[in-house]
Amino acid sequence: MSDALATRDALADVRVRAIASNGSGVADLADGRVVFIPRTAPGDRARVRLGKVKRKWAQASLVELLEHAPGRVDAPCPLFDTCGGCTIQHLAYEDQLEWKGLFISDALRRIGGLEVDPPKVQASPQVVGYRNRVSYSLRRLHGGRVIAGFHALGRPAHVIDVAGECLLPEASLRTAWTALREGWGRGARYLPAAGRLRLTLRSAGEGVALVVDGGAPGWNATDLAESVPTLTAIWHRPSGATKVTLLRGSEHVAPGGDALRWVGDSFLQVNTALGEVLRDFVLERAQAADRVVDAFCGVGAFARELARRGAAVTGIEVDPAACAAAKHGAPDSLDVVQGRVEQRLEEALPTDLLILNPPRAGLHESVPDVIRASAPERLIYVSCDPATLARDLARLSNTYTLAEVQAFDLFPQTSHVETVAVLDRSGEDS
């Protein structure tokens, strides 16, 4: 490959050899650079157009498939070529699971310094129609036109309009999204007056709740509620606000194990069926502990059940509404403290077991030192990002030994995977 070819907008023919953790195909250019191409599969021979080009790597877009990989399947979604979601639905589901296991072991090796075989990835009972929560971006354009949907492939600032095409939401959410689009009025006038909004639909008991992010305070949701009776609750968080307010309906009780109460934007796993399997896995690994700290406890998916089983549990959660939901109807042996984990963890220790379920960014840089200072016998780390999991495990490696890794495919058709790492204190802290 000539120097001229390795420039932006140049064409190159490549053979895809792997899948990157973001779902892009991985190939090699003639000059040795690695190139990442969305919507390609291992074994594809593809003609690609180079985009961003760096010294060691490049990004490209697919121009033409010259040869199809044996494992490639037809993507079922009609928006696959334009939507930025569902990055690997062109792979057979068995191959999706295999690659996700490789994503985890690769991150643990490269970032965490841990030699771990690719873990088994627990398959989802449903590969479509599994999401109990879906968020859409809404944009108001000139002339009263409204576009609402997902961010475009390769153009994250652009929104593609999505009607009923998306296959991932539960059936009730797809029905509610259609009703909402038909009922929000011309120019979405029944929604808050803002150029940009984020609309989240959530399964809520027997109905569907809507959480609206954006717009000014004081929005009256009456017209929307009357126009879209499918919605059993409407919540609003104005632009710049941290609190979400219930405007219509009532707080709902989530189905499942301990009748968890949730508030509008509180965290629950998006895959209800497999989320229960993950929860049972964590509870089984936690059952021997008498004292537990559940950091990032949310509405108490783990903490409430462990307290019910007799453990003395301290939950830590930054969202005060989620704290109240976690305590609602819980045993007296559950204490929930409000605040950031990096600010409240030290006072909650020592303990027998520490459960960590952080957001995608992982642990604050100060938290591993706090953990090592008190060193609970066991850690259970629930992670939605293998890279930040690996980074945090490396920070704890002098004190803990990785005892078990199990993965759960909570997000079929996407490159995301949920991992549970069980760590036991090694007694070799340096």
For residue 387, being part of any structural domain is answered with yes
Q: Among 29, 48, 67, where does a domain finish? A: 67
pLDDT of residue 262: 56
For residue 85, being part of any structural domain is answered with no
In Å, what is the CA distance from 3 to each residue of 32, 46, 404? 12, 20, 47
The DSSP element (H or E) to which 12 belongs, if any, is strand 11-15
Q: What is the dihedral of CA 59, 60, 66, 72, to 10 degrees?
A: 60
Cα distance between residue 12 and residue 10, in whole Å: 7
Cα distance between residue 79 and residue 366, in whole Å: 42
CATH code of 201's domain = 2.40.50
Report the side by side order of strands in the sheet with 418-425.
121-122, 400-408, 418-425, 378-383, 353-356, 291-295, 312-317, 334-338
Which residue matches tokens 């003395």? 312
- Give all strands (DSSP E) within 331-425, no chain letters: 334-338, 353-356, 378-383, 400-408, 418-425
Whether residue 51 contacts residue 8, with contact meaning beta carbons closer than 8 Å, is answered with: yes
Domain count, the chain: 3
For residue 2, being part of any structural domain is answered with no
Give the range among 138-152, 254-268, 331-345, 351-365 with minimum mean pLDDT.
Answer: 254-268
Looking at the fold, whether 303 and 408 belong to one and the same domain comes out as yes
Looking at the fold, whether 396 and 342 belong to one and the same domain comes out as yes
CATH code of 396's domain = 3.40.50.150
Looking at the fold, whether 40 and 15 belong to one and the same domain comes out as yes
Nearest C-alpha neighbor of 118 from the set 425, 308, 386, 395: 386
Looking at the fold, whether 120 and 143 belong to one and the same domain comes out as no
CATH code of 61's domain = 2.40.50.140
Looking at the fold, whether 324 and 221 belong to one and the same domain comes out as no
For residue 84, being part of any structural domain is answered with no
Helix axes 93-110, 386-395, angle to 10 degrees: 30
List 252's β-bridge partners, or say none. Answer: 262
Which residues are catalytically annotated?
Answer: 384
Tens digit of each residue's pLDDT (9 = 90 or more) over 290-306: 999 999 999 999 999 99
Taking residues 183-187, report their average pLDDT.
Answer: 96
Looking at the fold, whether 400 and 361 belong to one and the same domain comes out as yes
Displacement of CA 336 from its chain's centroid (Å): 24
Tens digit of each residue's pLDDT (9 = 90 or more) over 338-392: 999 999 999 999 999 999 999 999 999 999 999 999 999 999 999 999 999 999 9
Angle at alpha carbon of residue 26, lines to 395 and 72, rounded to 5°: 120
Whether residue 76 contacts residue 167, with contact meaning beta carbons closer than 8 Å, is answered with: yes
Looking at the fold, whether 193 and 161 belong to one and the same domain comes out as yes
pLDDT of residue 321: 83
For residue 260, being part of any structural domain is answered with no
Taking residues 83-102, report their average pLDDT.
Answer: 96
Domain of 16, in residue numbers? 11-67
Looking at the fold, whether 419 and 277 belong to one and the same domain comes out as yes
Q: Among 226, 253, 280, where does a domain finish? A: 253
For residue 91, being part of any structural domain is answered with no
Which residue matches tokens 């030994």? 401
Looking at the fold, whether 227 and 322 belong to one and the same domain comes out as no
Looking at the fold, whether 275 and 418 belong to one and the same domain comes out as yes
User: Residue 362's CB: how many other CB atoms inside 10 A?
Assistant: 21
pLDDT band at 3 (very low <50, low <70, confident <90, very high): very low
Displacement of CA 76 from its chain's centroid (Å): 22
Looking at the fold, whether 180 and 237 belong to one and the same domain comes out as yes
Looking at the fold, whether 408 and 312 belong to one and the same domain comes out as yes
For residue 326, being part of any structural domain is answered with yes
For residue 367, being part of any structural domain is answered with yes
Q: Which two tokens stand for residue 219?
A: 């929005």
- Give all strands (DSSP E) within 303-365, no chain letters: 312-317, 334-338, 353-356
Cα distance between residue 244 and residue 168, in whole Å: 25
This prediction has a pTM of: 0.92
Cα distance between residue 256 and residue 155, in whole Å: 38
